[in-house]
């Protein structure tokens, strides 16, 4: 699959799909990497090592620094895929060196939870390594 590369590098991991936008400030605990936004469909789930897939970010610009803090502590997603990346997520991914791709040629909802993906932020390519059962 092809998209637009935003933040370079390559990351591989199981797909973690968030059906709603995600805020890293107040939505993800920077000390654990758990989604903590009350009522979020993935509340309690760890983002570490996943390919985190969500439509777009929301919230404060401080969310960029939360992504950076997660990366520094080894708690960040292996990569991120958005439908449309906005500046908060882009900056966080870039300073945290987290590969980021958006505008895939297929709908994000067609990707299956748990599928192993490789994301190349330099080329914008996303490869399905292993389909989820």
Active site amino acids: 60
Backbone angles phi, psi at 9, to 5 degrees: 105, 175
The vertex-98 CA angle with 93 and 103, nearest 5°, equals 70
Backbone angles phi, psi at 72, to 5 degrees: -65, -30
Q: How far apart are alpha carbons 52 and 45 in whole angstroms? A: 11
3-class DSSP state for residue 17? strand
Q: How far apart are alpha carbons 112 and 69 in whole angstroms? A: 28
């Amino acid at each position: 699959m092809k998209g637009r590369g935003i933040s370079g590098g390559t990351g591989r991991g199981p797909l973690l799909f968030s059906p709603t936008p995600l805020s890293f400030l107040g939505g993800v605990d920077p000390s654990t990497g758990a989604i903590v936004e009350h009522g979020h469909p993935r509340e309690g789930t760890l983002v570490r090592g996943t390919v985190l897939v969500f439509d777009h970010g929301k919230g404060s610009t401080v969310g960029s620094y939360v992504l950076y803090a997660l990366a520094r502590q080894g708690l960040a997603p292996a990569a991120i895929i958005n439908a449309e990346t906005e500046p908060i997520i882009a900056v966080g991914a870039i300073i945290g060196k987290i590969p980021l791709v958006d505008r895939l040629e297929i709908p994000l909802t067609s990707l299956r939870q748990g599928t192993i993906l490789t994301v190349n932020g330099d080329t914008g390519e996303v490869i399905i390594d292993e389909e989820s059962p």
